[in-house]
Structure 1
Amino acid sequence: MSATAEGESILEPLLSAKASRPQGSSTGTTGAPTNWVQVVNIVQDVFSVAKEEARGDCHNLVLVLQHHRNYSRGEALAEARSIVRGHTDEFLRLKARLPALFDAAALPPHDRGIAYVFVDDLQAQMKGCHDWCRSSSRYSRVIRARPDEPTYLEEMRLEGLGR
């Protein structure tokens, strides 16, 4: 069994934990990987919104929020930040529950170590995605869909995903 598979099996209570629903979530059931996926997807949407808008791609959370909720670009970006914050906060709450879950399951130290590596990797990937999006030429070559508005890089500041 791979370390990832071992980490997932050890973390089953965390992965399928019933948690309070982060803002924007469509389900009341979430777990660390669900939060990780949402953060990565939304961060990429935020940083790519101008390019996607310029090429007519409407499959972007920021554009969807603008269209379906009649939000301004700033309001849609603020909502996206709020959703990301909800997912990162929930991830950190679930991570904080690990010691109690491990104690209750009498999990041996070796297995705890595997689980902590798995969860730390998820957290590092969220932070890495954000950092990469901020510095990658994929997102830094800005296409201004509307010259009178600031770009997404000028508006968006996602911080606090680090350890």
Structure 2
Amino acid sequence: MPQEISLHFPFEPRRSPDSSRASRSNLQWLREFGLVTSKEALTRYASWDLSDLAARAYPDALGEDLGLALDTMSFFFLFDDQFDGPVGNLPDITAEVCDELSRIVHLDLDASAAYGSPVTRSFADIWARARLGMPQDWKERASRNWHEYFVAHIEEAANRQSRRRLSEEEYLRLRRATVGVLPSIDLAQRVQNFRVPERIACNHAMASLSEIATDTIALGNDIFSAEKEAAQNDPHNIVLIIQSMSELSRESAIAAIAGRIEDKVEFFESIVTQLPETLQPLAPSQTEQEHVRRFVLGLRDWMRASYDWQAKSHRYTTSVDASNETSFFEDLLSSSTHSGYATAGECEG
């Protein structure tokens, strides 16, 4: 396992003091929406220690705000793991699931009994809580980012079904959506009480910072998940792609990616240094300047949190059985509206 990989970040880790309370409320939320039902699933979920990730990624969030952040992290990982199962090779059914989730953000639908699966009901709940009190430009940006996240899962399923091997450029384009960083950064504004207006958020330097942070987190996650994805013959991992395109060993490929991550962090910091001058033509108010500062801090928190958490979470430190081990341990997609999934196992080749 690559957990011993060492990366240098020129900023200190921060952590919310409210993780214990968030963890307790999260367990109630998971049970309420049927996301974790068996004893085995609960044991494995608890071993991931997602409350630590949420506390590190959102260090200024407390109480219900940190609870929302943790519930959202739970959704991300439990939803993503569903595609370790049969659905991950079935783009038509993946599209059905993801289209339903996209409709929730586009129509601002609330949680209701109409959404039969645990995934759709839980997502409707976190989206309703996240958008509460937020300005329209934030809602539009967040809904776009969630939509792109869901749509990218359909493309991944098509790639698995066809056994298509991606180029590095194709993969990075797709990975920027599937890693879920942009919705997570949108959430930082909600749970840590700052707002970056659209005219500033769309500035090229601000967009570059978001993309660099996204790439840093995605590449780091690929290092930690390389063994699992190799065992599953999943093509969506930059370490495995570099290995397949070169004569590098797994260890050398990981070292090369680690070097890229540190280069990206250095570039990130150079952009931050120039940011006041870059944004000057937009004449940001003092309040807006403070919110930009907190936005940058939020990106730093996420980059550091992702690395620190993955280095110790049992989600990545537990060895993978290459024969049949996956992170998928409960079906959270089935409902009366997804009749095709009931026989998904029969569709496998």
TM-score, normalised to structure 1, is 0.71
Which residue does the alignment assign to 2:33?
A: none
Q: What is the rounded CA distance, in whole Å, between the counterparts of 2:196 and 2:226 in structure 1?
A: 37
Identity of aligned residues (%): 24
CA offsets 1:74-94 (integer angstroms, 9 cap, x no match):
220111012111211111111
Query: Structure 2 unaligned runs (5+)?
Result: 1-134, 139-188, 323-349
Which residue does the alignment assign to 1:37?
A: 214
1:49 equivalent in alignment to 2:231? no
Contact 1:7 1:114 in 2 (8 A): no
User: How many residues are paired up?
Assistant: 131
Deviation (angstroms), 1:61: 0.7
- Secondary structure, counterpart of 1:97 in structure 2: helix
- Secondary structure, counterpart of 2:234 in structure 1: coil
1:15 equivalent in alignment to 2:209? no
Contact 1:102 1:112 in 2 (8 A): no
Q: What is the rounded CA distance, in whole Å, between the counterparts of 2:295 and 2:220 in structure 1?
A: 21
Of the three residues 196, 199, 214, the one matched with 1:6 is: 196
What does 1:87-102 correspond to in 2, within 5 Å? Answer: 87-102=264-279
Q: What is the rounded CA distance, in whole Å, between the counterparts of 1:121 and 1:80 in structure 2?
A: 23
Which residue does the alignment assign to 2:258?
A: 81
Q: What is the rounded CA distance, in whole Å, between the counterparts of 1:7 and 1:90 in structure 2?
A: 24
Query: Structure 1 unaligned runs (5+)?
Result: 17-30, 146-163
Contact 1:8 1:115 in 2 (8 A): no
Could you say if the C-alpha distance between residues 144 and 79 of structure 1 is closer, same or farther in structure 2, counting changes exceeding 3 Å? farther
Higher mean C-alpha deviation, range 70-79 or range 5-14 = 5-14
Deviation (angstroms), 1:108: 2.2
Which residue does the alignment assign to 2:341?
A: none
Of the three residues 114, 121, 126, the one matched with 2:298 is: 121
- Secondary structure, counterpart of 1:56 in structure 2: coil
Could you say if the C-alpha distance between residues 58 and 139 of structure 1 is closer, same or farther in structure 2, counting changes exceeding 3 Å? same
- Secondary structure, counterpart of 1:9 in structure 2: helix
Deviation (angstroms), 1:131: 1.1
Q: Which residue type is aligned with residue 10 of structure 1?
A: I
1:109 equivalent in alignment to 2:292? no
Contact 1:39 1:88 in 2 (8 A): yes
Q: What is the rounded CA distance, in whole Å, between the counterparts of 2:260 and 2:198 in structure 1?
A: 25
Could you say if the C-alpha distance between residues 74 and 49 of structure 1 is closer, same or farther in structure 2, counting changes exceeding 3 Å? same
